[in-house]
């Protein structure tokens, strides 16, 4: 199974990063979004990232232009009609993902792989929205995509060996490290990370220490590059809450219950860096 043409759905932070690394690896990429303004913003971020690489001597101006030349705008899912793989990076919502995958199943060629960048939702359930569950797989990239090496590759119940091998090979072409993970809520990355962040929020909620102290303990004592509360702000507190709810629902275990303070901040619109305020303030 040869992959050359790629459609990435969602021109936000994750989708834009995925489109960038695919184009850098020589793939032809269509970057899809429902709004042209979102695409324009996404391609602007990609251009800025590549320009920074030129300034640092990591690539030439000609190489930058060649990468940008491999990315084209898409505002219609019908553009999936001639691609080899679709990588969906839309909002983390099961109903929306199922709708997208049901549409892709009708549009994409029969050989096309349908991949999702979901960080916590069941691949098997997403695949059930299609008539080709053997061609559906999870490709969970880490943020920021151009920098982070890991890609969790998650098989659904029906994912074929051929599809897994093709996605693993593609991941290596992107200069990423593929790690095979089974289809359980949160996979590995978020099943381990999010309860740690949630427990750090409980530590603040219960008055054990200040936010700065909690982050310093984890940075200086555990050698984490960023404290858990600061990291939560960068991920987005709404995303953290959604993943904790997915874990809590998926396992039915009280150890995954979201901290009331996390829920309170999200209800207040304090979503972290993207809203200007979370556990810290961002001007």
281 classed as catalytic = no
Catalytic residue among 74, 117, 135, 152: 152
Burial 64-88 (b: 16+ CB within 10 A, else e): beebeebbeebeebebbeebbbbbb
Catalytic residue among 74, 92, 120, 140: 140
| pLDDT value, residue 81 | 98
Secondary element (H or E) of residue 68: helix 61-69
190 classed as catalytic = yes
pLDDT (tens digit, 9 = 90+) per residue, 52-78? 999 999 999 999 999 999 999 999 999
152 classed as catalytic = yes
224 classed as catalytic = no
Secondary element (H or E) of residue 116: strand 113-116
* Cis omega (within 30 of 0) for bond into 95: no
Using CA atoms, how far apart are residues 98 and 118, in angstroms rounded to an integer?
Answer: 12
Listed residue (86, 68, 78) closest to 8, CA to CA: 86
Listed residue (102, 83, 65) closest to 27, CA to CA: 83
Using CA atoms, how far apart are residues 174 and 147, in angstroms rounded to an integer?
Answer: 11
Query: 15 near 89, Cβ under 8 Å?
Result: yes
Q: If pLDDT is split at 50, 70 and 90, which confidence band does 283 have?
A: confident
Catalytic residue among 38, 74, 190, 198: 190
pLDDT (tens digit, 9 = 90+) per residue, 187-230? 999 999 999 999 999 999 999 999 999 999 999 999 999 999 99
pLDDT at 1 over 90: no
Catalytic residue among 119, 120, 135, 160: 119
Domains of the chain listed by start with CATH number: 5-181 (3.40.50.720), 190-275 (1.10.1040.10)
| pLDDT value, residue 155 | 97
């Amino acid at each position: 199974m040869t992959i050359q043409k790629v459609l990435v759905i969602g021109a936000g932070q994750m989708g834009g990063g995925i489109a960038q690394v695919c184009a850098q690896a020589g793939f032809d990429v269509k970057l899809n979004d429902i709004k042209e303004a979102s695409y324009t913003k996404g391609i602007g971020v990609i251009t800025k990232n590549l320009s920074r690489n030129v300034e640092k001597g990591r690539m030439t101006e000609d190489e930058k232009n060649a990468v940008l030349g491999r990315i084209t705008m898409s505002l219609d899912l019908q553009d999936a009609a001639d691609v080899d793989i679709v990588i969906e990076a839309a909002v983390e919502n099961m109903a929306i993902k199922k709708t997208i995958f049901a549409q892709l199943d009708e549009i994409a060629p029969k050989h096309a792989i349908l991949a999702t960048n979901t960080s916590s939702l069941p691949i098997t359930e997403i695949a059930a929205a299609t008539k080709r569950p053997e061609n559906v797989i999870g490709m969970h990239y880490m943020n920021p995509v151009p920098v982070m090496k890991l890609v969790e590759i998650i098989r659904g119940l029906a994912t074929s060996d051929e599809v897994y091998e093709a996605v693993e090979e593609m991941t290596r072409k992107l200069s990423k490290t593929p790690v095979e993970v089974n289809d359980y809520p949160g996979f590995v990355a978020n099943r381990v990370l999010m309860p740690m962040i949630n427990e750090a929020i409980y530590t603040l909620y219960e008055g054990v220490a200040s936010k700065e102290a909690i982050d310093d303990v984890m940075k200086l004592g555990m050698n984490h590059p960023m404290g858990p509360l600061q990291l939560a702000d960068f991920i987005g507190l709404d995303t953290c809450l959604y993943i904790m709810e997915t874990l809590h629902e998926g396992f039915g275990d009280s150890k995954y219950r979201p901290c009331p303070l996390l829920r309170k901040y999200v209800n207040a619109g304090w979503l972290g860096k993207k809203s200007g305020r979370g556990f810290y303030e961002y001007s």
